[in-house]
Amino acid sequence: MDSITVYNAKGGTGKTSLSLALALKTGNTIITNDIYSPIDDVLPSSKVLKLEPNEKVPILDYSSPIIYDLGGHMMDTRISQCLKQSKTILIPTLTDYTSLKTTMYAIKEVEEFNKNIILIINKVSNEKEFFEAHKILSNFFTYEILRVKESKCFQNMFKNKKSIDEMMQENKLITRAYTEVNNQLINIINTLDSKDNIKSA
Ligand SMILES: Nc1ncnc2c1ncn2[C@@H]1O[C@H](COP(=O)(O)OP(=O)(O)OP(=O)(O)O)[C@@H](O)[C@H]1O
Ligand SMILES: [Mg+2]
C-alpha cells in the first residue's frame, strides 16, 4: 500500500482506529500530529512517529510507505504537506448530521491539495443509517464511499495490544464476530491498491 493520509477536522471519527488497523495489516509506519495518541502501546516504536507541535514532517523514504493520522485545523501546515505527498486520502465520518456537515467542510479543504479521496462511513450499526449518510454525501461529492461497521475490535486492539488478525487467530468466537469488519478493512486496502495513481498519470 502506498502512503495515505487519514484526515478529518472533526474529532472522534475513527482516524486513529482505522490508521492503526490498516498499519497492522500492511506494516506501514504511522506518523501522527497527536502527541497523546496511544498507538505506540500497540505498534513497535520503529513503526510510529508522533510529531511534536512544531516538529516538521520528515522527508519521505519511498521504500517505507506512511499512514499519516492527522487531526486538527488546516492551519497546521503539516496537514497540507502530508495531503500533497499522499497517494490517497481517507476521510472517515460518523453518520450523525453534525459529523457529516463538518466532514463536508473538511472534504472541501482536502480537495484543494489532493482530490484522490475515499470517504469512509464509519461505526455503521444499521443499513438505514448507512444509506442516509451515503445519500447526503453522494448528493455533494462523487468520491468512492466505503463503510466500516461498528465493532469492538477497534478498542480491543488498544486494550489487548494486538492486531485484529491476532485476536481472530486466538479465538473462534472472535473470528466470527470480527469477520465482517475485517473484510471491510481488507476491502479498503484493496481499493487503495487498485486506485490509479493520478499524480503519475
Ligand atoms: N467502527 C467503529 N466501531 C466502534 N467504535 C469505533 C469505531 N471506530 C472508532 N471507534 C471508537 O470511537 C472512538 C474514537 O475513535 P478514534 O480515536 O479512532 O477517532 P479519531 O478520529 O482518531 O479521534 P481524535 O480526533 O480524538 O484523534 C474510540 O473510542 C474508538 O474505539
Ligand atoms: Mg486520533
Q: For ligand 1, say whether the CB of 34 is within 6 Å of any of its atoms.
A: yes
Stretch 96-115: mean pLDDT: 98
Q: For ligand 1, say whether the CB of 72 is within 6 Å of any of its atoms.
A: no
Helix H segments across the chain?
15-26, 77-84, 97-111, 127-140, 153-160, 164-170, 172-194
Q: How many domains does the chain have?
A: 1
pLDDT at 1 over 90: no
pLDDT at 199 over 90: no
Mean pLDDT of the chain: 95
Q: Which residues are found with C-beta within 5 Å of the ion, ligand 2?
A: 15-16
Give the three cell numbers for residue 128: 438505514
**What pLDDT is stored for residue 197 in this prediction?**
46
Give the chain's end-to-end CA distance (angstroms, integer).
18
Q: For ligand 1, say whether the CB of 14 is within 6 Å of any of its atoms.
A: yes
Q: How confident is the model over 12-71, as pLDDT tens digits?
A: 999 999 999 999 999 999 999 999 999 999 999 999 999 999 999 998 766 779 999 999
Task: Write the CATH number for 185.
Answer: 3.40.50.300
| Probe residue for ligand 1, chosen from 150, 154, 183 as the CB with the greatest number of ligand atoms within 8 Å | 154
Give residue 132's identity as a one-letter amino acid code: E
Q: Which atom of ligand 1 is nearest to the CA of 17?
A: 18
What is the whole-number distance in angstroms between the Cα of residue 92 and the centre of ligand 2?
11
Q: Kind of pairing, strands 4-7 and 66-70?
A: parallel
Residue nearest to atom 11 of ligand 1 (CA): 14
Q: For ligand 1, say whether the CB of 122 is within 6 Å of any of its atoms.
A: yes
Q: How confident is the model over 145-164, as pLDDT tens digits?
A: 999 999 999 999 999 999 99
**With bands split at pLDDT 50, 70 and 90, how would you rate the model's confidence at 195?**
confident
> The domain containing residue 54 runs over which residues?
4-200
Q: What is the pTM of this model?
A: 0.96
**What pLDDT is stored for residue 196 in this prediction?**
64
CA pair distance 70, 153, nearest whole angstrom: 21
**What pLDDT is stored for residue 61 in this prediction?**
66
Going by C-alpha positions, the residue among 19, 73, 92 that lies closest to residue 49 is 19
Percent of the chain with pLDDT over 70: 96
Q: Are 93 and 10 in contact (CB under 8 A)?
A: yes
